[in-house]
Amino acid sequence: MPTSSIRQLPKTEMILPGTRSCAGCGLMLTYRHALKALDEGKTIVAVPASCMTVLHGVYPITPVKVVCINNPFAATGASATGIVAGLRATGKTGYTVVAFAGDGGTYDIGIQALSGALERGTDFIYVCYDNEGYMNTGTQRSSASPVGAVTSTTPILAKLQHKKDMVRIVEAHNLPYIATASPSFPFDLYDKFKFAKDVKGPRYIEVHAACPPGWGFPNKDLVKMGKLAVETGIHALFEISEGKFRLTSRSLALAEKGRKKTVADYVKGQTRFRKISAENLSRLQDFTDKRWNDLLERHFKDNP
Amino acid sequence: MGRIEIITANTAAALAAKLCRVQVISAYPITPQTPVTEELAEMVENGSLKAEYITVESEHSALASVVAASQVGARVFTATSANGLLYMHEMLHWAAGSRVPIVMACVNRGVGAPWTILNDQQDTVSQRDTGWIQIYCRNSQEVLDSVIQAYRVAERIQIPIMVCYDGFILSHTSTPVDVPSQEEVDGFLPPLEDRSGMDGHTLMNVNPLILSDPRPDPEGRLMPGYMEFRYRLQQDILESVNEIKSADEEFSAIFGRSWGASVWTYRMDDAEHAMVSMGSLASECTLAADQLRNEGVKAGVVGVRVYRPFPRVEMVESLAGLKTVTFFEKDVSYGYQGALAMDAKAAMYDSEHRPLISSYIVGLGGRDVRPDQLAQATLKCVGGETKHCWLDVRDL
Ligand SMILES: Cc1ncc(C[n+]2csc(CCOP(=O)(O)OP(=O)(O)O)c2C)c(N)n1
Ligand code: SF4
């Protein structure tokens, strides 16, 4: 049974007040629900350089009640493999090893180590929280940034290229479980982490984590912005379990009935799109539609 | 009891790792290190070594994975050469900064570009400032023994160690090596004490590697900041000479072989002229010293075994008061000179009896070095002519 009420979530908070993330941070909300689903005192997270490092705080003060092993930016997949191997070699059992990296640490610099870990079949959950840019270093473009977004390294022309389709790259590694999620749909996110916890082998969860300062919207609009991303099809919610594809939550509802909102509805609330040209807006709409139609087709094929 | 086997230095390194009962191995192949990765993989697959073998996709990942495995309490091993080592550069700092007792075999090879697969020591010498202890071996026996000693030292002081040996000259040349029994090694090297902070099944929610300034933890204890952490690493590396020495002494009591801790000497008792070098080149210098002795020149050799921490005191003791000192090394600190000569001269600055000094860069990228060349270069210095130059380079 999918979670449908806040009362079904564990009351334990693994993240205490006092994190160093910004107000209204999508990563923070993601992490909070993910840890509720994962933690029974036996979660070890591998964290590369990113906003996540900042969220965890400066030793010896950390507001997060899980063990965090910091690793260099490019090394997340390899660190996770090392943790898993080290635990096995020393007979420590029952731990869930989770890597938590940003889109830069996943799509760009960390893709080699991630691919290696997936191919090796490392028994871990790799989470990419996608805030569509290098936020920790001040909003530079990553290969996850959408076309038309102004970033500090695409300050004048805005980003010219579409986002990389990371989930497809990951899927080419034949994982037992892949999911996308959004902190704006916390029950769906919680259920996916809960499910992933008990799957053996490499699992990949990509979370669309909105970022108020990086995207340019008011802190209070975090949940709204995340919802809009799903309702426009910019970020679809689905899971691929043993190769079987299934839209979930609001994306499933959209597929069955209802209509996607337009990308224009989504971009207008964010200052990073302040320079988007009509041409790029239509490129972004086409890109979104094509991807959404592919997902729909796949969903109905696998779930006739 | 040990047994004599005719093996290469690569096999000696792999066997040593096995005898040390390493629990996690991760390595990426590169000539001339490759046989180490292959032999360990075979041992793990045929069940003669009970360990996790991680087949990684790069050297950066090789070191990243053993750092992480070490952090959760496993004894780990890796090996590399040349560009592989340089690809690890970020992780080298990370490993030392994490204070994990990794032992890594570094098979010295010239660094590309341009490509060479043959030997020099530019790869490891250029990593001397990463916070690792560096041991340079003369022969395959020393490689085997040094790996075993290295675990003992690394685990006592929580500092990673590179055991360096020359590509092909040692890595691919078979010589007799006394391979100790498992019982003997177990008697010398205790099982790794688990410092992962996981007591039984509970984990401490610490995040020990982001450090700014000292600040009190929730119990009010002042915890170190970045600079204190770095200071402690420096102090501990400086003090590691004592651990290195006692490891060699205790090793010698059990195995009957001593490698002379940081520095070793050859015919230095009455010497007036010294040749200084590292690795197999230093062994070659002993042949040159014999030649010079036959010619009536009182020459000897000072071999640097441990390059970091730099054996300052031992260097001064063995070199002060000599008439001449000639350095031979297979590396260069570009824009200055040979790194070993540079370091040694800095150590000797305070000495009252300063010898004449020459230094030579030799044998880069496998260029052959003959004892008679070393002897001739030394004779120049003996004759009062000091030089800082490259030996046997063709000035085109
Ligand atoms: C090798 C290396 N290059 C660059 C950096 C600087 N750096 C730290 S975090 C970061 C961006 C992180 O972006 P992302 O992974 O998307 O995470 P976010 O900050 O958005 O949470 C960069 C470029 C680094 N730490 N290491
Ligand atoms: S910059 Fe964005 S992702 Fe980073 S902490 Fe702030 S809100 Fe979160």
Give the pLDDT confidence of B171-195 residue by residue, as tens digits. Answer: 999 999 999 999 999 999 999 998 8
- Tens of pLDDT, residues B47-59: 999 999 999 999 9
Nearest CA in chain B to A73: B90
Confidence of residue B217 (pLDDT cuts 50, 70, 90): confident
Nearest CA in chain B to A87: B72
Residue B200 scores a pLDDT above 60: no
What is the identity of the amino acid at B221? Answer: R
Share of chain B above pLDDT 70, in %: 96
Ligand that lies nearest to the alpha carbon of residue B89, given by its number in the listed order: 1
Nearest CA in chain B to A90: B74
3-state DSSP assignment of residue A276: coil
- Tens of pLDDT, residues A181-210: 999 999 999 999 999 999 999 999 999 999
- Protein residue with its CA nearest to atom 1 in ligand 2: A135
CA distance A163 to A229: 14
Ligand 2 pocket mutation pick from A20, A21, A31, A271 by most atoms within 8 angstroms of CB: A21
Do the chains contact at A85 and B26, CB–CB below 8 Å? Answer: yes
pLDDT value for A188: 98
Cβ(A177)–Cβ(A167) below 8 Å: no
Residue B23 scores a pLDDT above 60: yes
Interface with chain B: mutation pick from A16, A58, A88, highest number of B CBs within 10 Å: A58
Mean pLDDT of A268-295: 98
pLDDT value for A60: 75
Mean pLDDT of B259-268: 96
Position in ligand 1 atom list of the atom nearest CA A131? 20
- Tens of pLDDT, residues B323-356: 999 999 999 999 999 999 999 999 999 888 889 9
Gap from B56 CA to chain A (nearest CA, Å): 6
Question: What separation in Å is there between the alpha carbon of A21 and the centre of ligand 2?
Answer: 6
B350 touches chain A (CB under 8 A): no
Q: Give percent helix, percent strand, percent coil of chain B, each to the nearest 5.
A: 40, 20, 40
B208 touches chain A (CB under 8 A): yes
What mean pLDDT value characterizes chain A? 96
CA distance A298 to A245: 7
Position in ligand 1 atom list of the atom nearest CA A105? 15
- Confirm or reject: Cβ of A79 under 6 Å from ligand 1: no
Distance between terminal CA atoms of chain A? 21
pLDDT value for B224: 79
Q: Which residues line ligand 2 (CB under 6 A)?
A: A 21-22, 25, 27, 51, 131, 135, 211-214
pLDDT value for A41: 78
Residue B205 scores a pLDDT above 60: no
Residue A96 scores a pLDDT above 90: yes
Residue B143 scores a pLDDT above 80: yes
Confidence of residue B220 (pLDDT cuts 50, 70, 90): confident
Mean pLDDT of B30-35: 98
- Tens of pLDDT, residues B7-20: 999 999 999 999 99
Question: What separation in Å is there between the alpha carbon of A109 and the centre of ligand 2?
Answer: 19
- Confirm or reject: Cβ of A139 under 6 Å from ligand 1: no
Ligand that lies nearest to the alpha carbon of residue A142, given by its number in the listed order: 1
Do the chains contact at A72 and B91, CB–CB below 8 Å? Answer: yes
Q: In what order do the strands lie in the sheet with B52-55?
A: B52-55, B24-27, B76-80, B103-108, B161-166, B133-136, B306-308
Question: What's the full length of chain B, in residues?
Answer: 396
- Confirm or reject: Cβ of A122 under 6 Å from ligand 1: no
Contacts of B175 (CB under 8 A, 6+ apart): B6, B7, B8, B139, B140, B141
* Exposure b/e, B236-252, CB count within 10 A at least 16 = b: bbeebbebbbebbeebe
Ligand that lies nearest to the alpha carbon of residue B94, given by its number in the listed order: 1
- Protein residue with its CA nearest to atom 3 in ligand 2: A211
Which of A33, A232, A10, A198 shows the shortest CA–CA distance to A129? A33
Would you list which residues of chain A are within 8 Å, Cβ to Cβ, of chain B? 41-42, 44, 46, 53, 56-62, 64-72, 74-75, 77-83, 85-90, 92, 94, 112-113, 115-116, 119-120
Q: Give percent helix, percent strand, percent coil of chain A, each to the nearest 5.
A: 45, 15, 40
B66 touches chain A (CB under 8 A): yes
Do the chains contact at B61 and A88, CB–CB below 8 Å? Answer: no
Confidence of residue B198 (pLDDT cuts 50, 70, 90): confident
Gap from B225 CA to chain A (nearest CA, Å): 8
CA distance A178 to A125: 10
- Tens of pLDDT, residues A58-71: 777 788 888 889 99
Nearest CA in chain B to A39: B203
Confidence of residue B394 (pLDDT cuts 50, 70, 90): confident
Do the chains contact at B66 and A82, CB–CB below 8 Å? Answer: yes
- Protein residue with its CA nearest to atom 26 in ligand 1: A73
Question: What separation in Å is there between the alpha carbon of A144 and the centre of ligand 1?
Answer: 13
pLDDT value for B352: 87
Position in ligand 2 atom list of the atom nearest CA A135? 1
Share of chain A above pLDDT 90, in %: 91
Mean pLDDT of B149-162: 98
Cβ(B180)–Cβ(B2) below 8 Å: yes
pLDDT value for B208: 54
- Tens of pLDDT, residues B81-115: 999 999 999 999 999 999 999 999 999 999 999 99
Q: How many beta-carbon contacts under 8 Å exist across A and B?
A: 159
- Protein residue with its CA nearest to atom 11 in ligand 1: A134
Q: What is the DSSP string of A121-174?
A: T-SSEEEEEE-SSBTTTTSB--TTSPTT--BTTBTTT---SPPP-HHHHHHTT-
Gap from A192 CA to chain B (nearest CA, Å): 24
In chain A, which residues have their Cβ closer than 8 Å to the Cβ of B78?
Answer: none
Mean pLDDT of B23-32: 98
Question: What separation in Å is there between the alpha carbon of B137 and the centre of ligand 1?
Answer: 39
Residue B206 scores a pLDDT above 70: no
- Tens of pLDDT, residues B76-88: 999 999 999 999 9
Residue B203 scores a pLDDT above 60: no
Strand duo B356-361 + B215-216: pairing: unpaired
Tokens of B156: 């006592």
CA distance A107 to B313: 50
- Confirm or reject: Cβ of A295 under 6 Å from ligand 1: no
Residue B150 scores a pLDDT above 90: yes
Confidence of residue A40 (pLDDT cuts 50, 70, 90): confident
Gap from B81 CA to chain A (nearest CA, Å): 20
Do the chains contact at A41 and B203, CB–CB below 8 Å? Answer: yes
- Protein residue with its CA nearest to atom 8 in ligand 1: A49
